[in-house]
Amino acid sequence: MVREGEVPLHDPNAQPRAITPRGDLAEDEKTTIAIFKQASDSVAYITTLAMRMDVLRLDLFEIPQGTGSGIVWDARGHIVTNFHVIQGANAARVTLADNSVWNARLVGADADHDLAVLKIGAPPGRLRPIAIGTSHDLQVGQKVFAIGNPFGLDHTLTTGVISALGRQIRSVSGMPIRGVIQTDAAINPGNSGGPLVNADGQVIGV
């Protein structure tokens, strides 16, 4: 007996649905999975920090300022990112794909082209430098893949195509950046500094 308005927690006549086994992945799905596996270990998570003064204890302390993405460039610990990711920060930390965290120092910056290079002290065994492709032979309609940390969600993959080539945008310094790749792959806050890769898993843009 069920009272009016009550919902039974169990239906004795209910039957489980049959589960249909998944078929083979499509070839383009296999390609996308392989690209992500190849390139994702070369993507770093960057946290920038600001220094603040505790006026009561007259002591400095760090607070998170922002997040972004970076590219493991070589086995010497160089991490390439966008200049605006680290702009105005007092310090930065880099989290690698193995979740190890490293203090980073700025070793190079070009605000006019919105690029920066950080250096971390990770041993070569922890670093997976990204494969480098060419950008002079790109074609509109070519598939591309973006890997980054949008909204702090690390190692997120989005896919799309090259929508246009040779675009021009303004850098944080106000100077024009020419030769920009336009893509319809979703790019969100936190993706900045991450790689745009081709179907061979090679970086072709930042």
Q: Which residues are catalytic?
A: 84, 114, 192
Are 206 and 84 contacting, i.e. CB atoms less than 8 angstroms apart?
no
Integer Cα distance of 51 and 62 in angstroms: 5
Integer Cα distance of 124 and 81 in angstroms: 19
Integer Cα distance of 110 and 46 in angstroms: 18
Integer Cα distance of 85 and 97 in angstroms: 19
Integer Cα distance of 86 and 2 in angstroms: 63
Are 203 and 133 contacting, i.e. CB atoms less than 8 angstroms apart?
yes
Integer Cα distance of 32 and 11 in angstroms: 42
